[in-house]
Structure 1
Amino acid sequence: MTAQQTTALLAGLAVLVILARVLGALARRLGQPAVIGEVLAGIALGPTLFHGAVSDALFPDDIRPLLSALAAVGIAVFMFIIGLEWDATLIRGIGSLAATVSFSSILLPFGLGAALALYLLDEHAAADRTAFMLFMGIAMSITAFPVLARILTDRGMSRSPLGVVALACASIDDVLAWSLLAAVVAISGSAGPEEWRILLAVPYLLGMFFVVRPLLRRFADRRTGLRLTPSVLAAVLAGLLLSAAATEWLGLHYIFGAFLFGVILPRSGTAQLREDVHDRLGQMSGTLLLPVFFLVAGLKVDLSGLDASGLGDLGLILAVAIGGKFAGAFAAARLNRMPVRESTALATLMNTRGLTELIVLNVGLQLGILGQDLYSLMVVMAVVTTAMAGPLLNWVLGRPDRTDGPGSPAPRATEAAPAPGRGTGPAV
């Protein structure tokens, strides 16, 4: 790097961090998740406003590959933390209800999204029609577990019956959605001429669960009160990066490897370690690396040329995304005899998409499944469906009292509320 490039990169990052922080704080003051303000910060620096003059001045073309590299690291860390938060014990005792709501809230929007893809093909041609239809179905089916957990914690609902059900449904949604996305990535042939490598994904998965996981479990059992020392931090970082690199080499996306490494880390006896991971990795990722990702995502969003046809497509996308997810979750909840009010609130929560949706959309853009115009419309959908959750919940349930009950202490990571409630950066 030249001195000029280094200066431009460091100065631009400083502006980005401050802008993301300010808009994120403003979003919270307006009762919205911080991710709304941070995404808008990325879009504001992109070509939508002033034809990209701001982004061209702050981030010249020769440093944008460096931004993409930082964004990739940030997303790998974020996905690792999401995997670390996933806890199968959430569905204990409510497995039938959670599974029914999760499957219904994925299958209906998935089917509607695939049908919408057939209509969108006329204006948004795709090289692989099957991959495009499957991808649109997945994009409509996403629920953002971290932002949902943060909303519940901010409202004091993390240990309420409704909150526990919502967290369980979102956790199942996460696993199903990432599995479906992995299948689409494999179908798209992203590995190029080395497609045979995808066959190694199954032995890799088995090795992670039945070889690496027991070894990590044995290591944790031998050390009581395991803390995040520099050596342990180095091992965690190396593990998640190597796992991410492995799935990228296999022809899957690196996000799956990072997520998988978080899933296989031991849960029992490592509460302090996981809290330290959130505090250290989470804050660095949320303060610096994720805003870089929002910028990289925002640089690809261009709404300056949005016309009547584009608005019509956006209306259809919003109708399918919101209606499909809401109807699927609401119908399943009612079939399980959940009261109408709680069913409505649960369906509203399942519609939150947040950063998880942006990650999925960027995968689609990188693979050439989405074009820039459709990508821009889908980003708007992600912002709208996340922003509407808070006001709708206030309308359905009333304003939050921020307590789970009289004298209830703050939720711990080992209880029903997972780590996003701590307020660290990746809870978006």
Structure 2
Amino acid sequence: MTELQVAILLCDVALIVVIARLTGRLARALGQPAVLGEIVAGILAGPTLFHGAIAQTLFPVDIRPQLTGLASVGLVLFMFAVGLEFDHARLRGSGRVAGATALGASVVPFALGSAFALYLVGRHPGNRLGFVLFLGVALSVTAFPVLARILTDRGMHRTTIGTVALSAAAVCDLAAWTMLAAVQAIVGGGGGTDHWLVLLVVPFAAALFLVVRPVLRWLLTRTGGEAPHLGQFAVVLACLLASAAVTQLLGLHFVFGAFLFGLAVPRRGTAKVREDLLHRTQATTALLLPVYFVVAGLNVDLSRIGTSGLLELGAIIVVAVAGKFAGTFAGARTQGVSARQSAILATLMNTRGLTELIALGVGLQIGVLDRELYSLMVVMAVVTTAMSGPLLRWLAGRENQEPVPEPLHSLPTTSN
């Protein structure tokens, strides 16, 4: 890189951080998650406005590879945090209600999305099987981190309905990432001589849980339950990056390696350590994730969408909302949850946010999405996430604009 390129890169990162902070605060003022404002800012920084003049001026083509590199590191840290926050104990404590909710919120939108993909596949040529499966997965995603923030902001995270929503979202995300890995393996298996390497992901995952996890437990419990010192954090960070690199080399996106490593971090006796790891990771992603939003936004061009594109966008949003809402609502109702509470759960599970954006990025990279459909799907992710706040306020009652947390005994609870 030349000195000028370095200077432009640093200025771009500074600009992105400032814009992310301002748009995040604006989103919060409007009752939306801060990440939604950051995503919209990333889209507006792309080629959608003024025929790409803003993007060309602020983010020159020769700087974009460096921005992409920074965004990749941010994604690794974010997906590590998602895996780290996956709480097995929560799943055991939420009973059959969470299981039925997760099943409905995964199976119904996947089936509806796959059927819808059969209608779209003629307009978006490529790997037919990969396209159908990917769209089913993409329409069944729930953004666990965004959902957790919404529940916390509304004081619902310690209620039964909040626990069920978080548990179901965690299961949905785990299923979605597993299926997405399978889709990438299918798409990558269409030619070449080294696609068999993806099969090595299975022994690699086994090694993470059977070999690396005990070593991590020994390393992280040496502090006596206190926060890890800098050396321990450096070891965890190095192993995280190595795990992401391994899955990338094996033919899967690096986000899978980061997610797997987060899942592999031991839970028993490491609550304080994991909390500190999460805090440090989130502090870094606050800088790097906005860079990812801009990189993702550079691939979104809504200026060329005509009437047919708008109709397709409307259909995508309807299918996405209907599948997620109907599946979640039906799953909760089978366990005796009231219609109102089931509707609240369905609204929460319809939140997609950043998790959807990452999944769509994987789809664009492996070639199952073209730029046009990618752009439409990003808009769908923004719209469905933005819907959650107003719908929650409406479902909670027009007299009280804040949702009323349900008492702990209000939902049926059964032990597994």
Partner of 2:304: 305
1:304-323 aligned within 5 A: 304-323=303-322
8 Å CA contact 2:393–2:403 kept in 1: the answer is no
Q: Distance in 2 between matches of 1:192 and 1:200?
A: 16
Gaps (5+ residues) in structure 2? 408-416
What letter matches 2:351 in structure 1?
T
Partner of 1:269: 269
Partner of 2:411: none
Q: Deviations over 1:213-271 (max 9, x none)?
A: 12222333443023232201211110110010111111111101101111111223322
1:3-402 aligned within 5 A: 3-126=3-126, 128-189=127-188, 192-286=192-286, 288-398=287-397, 399-400=401-402
CA-atom RMSD in angstroms: 1.6
Q: Deviations over 1:396-427 (max 9, x none)?
A: 0142279898xxxxxxxxxxxxxxxxxxxxxx
Partner secondary structure for residue 188 of structure 1: helix
What letter matches 1:43 in structure 2?
I
8 Å CA contact 1:156–1:400 kept in 2: the answer is no
Q: Give the direction of change, closer, same or farther, for the CA distance of 1:268–1:373 in structure 2 (3 Å limit).
A: same
What letter matches 2:257 in structure 1?
G
8 Å CA contact 1:9–1:63 kept in 2: the answer is yes
Q: Deviations over 1:2-33 (max 9, x none)?
A: 01111111111111111111001100010000
Q: What is the CA distance between 1:122 and its match in structure 2?
A: 2.2
What letter matches 2:78 in structure 1?
F
Q: Distance in 1 between matches of 2:359 and 2:171?
A: 17
Partner secondary structure for residue 313 of structure 1: helix
Q: Distance in 2 between matches of 1:107 and 1:403?
A: 28
Q: Distance in 2 between matches of 1:386 and 1:376?
A: 16
- Identity of aligned pairs, percent? 55
Gaps (5+ residues) in structure 1? 406-428
8 Å CA contact 1:144–1:356 kept in 2: the answer is yes
Deviates further, 90-99 or 339-348: 90-99
Q: Distance in 2 between matches of 1:60 and 1:85?
A: 37
8 Å CA contact 2:100–2:334 kept in 1: the answer is no
Deviates further, 229-238 or 315-324: 229-238
Deviates further, 95-104 or 236-245: 95-104
- Number of aligned pairs? 403
8 Å CA contact 2:221–2:270 kept in 1: the answer is no
1:397-412 aligned within 5 A: 397-398=396-397, 399-400=401-402
Partner secondary structure for residue 123 of structure 1: coil
Partner of 2:414: none
Q: Distance in 1 between matches of 2:294 and 2:184?
A: 24
8 Å CA contact 1:159–1:404 kept in 2: the answer is no
Q: What is the CA distance between 1:279 and its match in structure 2?
A: 2.4
8 Å CA contact 2:396–2:404 kept in 1: the answer is no
What letter matches 1:145 in structure 2?
F
Deviates further, 303-312 or 213-222: 213-222
Q: Deviations over 1:129-161 (max 9, x none)?
A: 000000000000000000111111100011101
What letter matches 1:377 in structure 2?
L
Partner secondary structure for residue 119 of structure 1: helix
Q: Distance in 1 between matches of 2:192 and 2:263?
A: 28
Q: Give the direction of change, closer, same or farther, for the CA distance of 1:312–1:103 in structure 2 (3 Å limit).
A: same
Q: Distance in 1 between matches of 2:227 and 2:91?
A: 28
Deviates further, 147-156 or 395-404: 395-404
Partner secondary structure for residue 146 of structure 1: helix
8 Å CA contact 2:38–2:293 kept in 1: the answer is yes
- TM norm structure 1: 0.91
Q: What is the CA distance between 1:67 and its match in structure 2?
A: 0.7
Q: What is the CA distance between 1:192 and its match in structure 2?
A: 4.6
8 Å CA contact 1:42–1:296 kept in 2: the answer is yes
Q: Distance in 1 between matches of 2:279 and 2:404?
A: 23
Q: What is the CA distance between 1:101 and its match in structure 2?
A: 1.3
Q: Distance in 2 between matches of 1:274 and 1:91?
A: 18
Partner of 1:416: none
8 Å CA contact 2:84–2:278 kept in 1: the answer is no
- TM norm structure 2: 0.94
What letter matches 1:226 in structure 2?
E
Q: Deviations over 1:56-114 (max 9, x none)?
A: 11111111011111111100000000000001111223332212111111111111111
8 Å CA contact 1:158–1:404 kept in 2: the answer is no
What letter matches 2:68 in structure 1?
S
Q: Deviations over 1:144-201 (max 9, x none)?
A: 0001111111000111010011011011111111110110011111795311211211
8 Å CA contact 1:300–1:372 kept in 2: the answer is yes
Deviates further, 223-232 or 237-246: 223-232
Q: Distance in 1 between matches of 2:193 and 2:62?
A: 29
What letter matches 2:174 in structure 1?
V
Q: Give the direction of change, closer, same or farther, for the CA distance of 1:156–1:402 in structure 2 (3 Å limit).
A: farther
Q: Distance in 2 between matches of 1:104 and 1:92?
A: 18
What letter matches 2:24 in structure 1?
G
Q: Distance in 2 between matches of 1:237 and 1:194?
A: 29
What letter matches 1:45 in structure 2?
A
What letter matches 1:225 in structure 2?
G
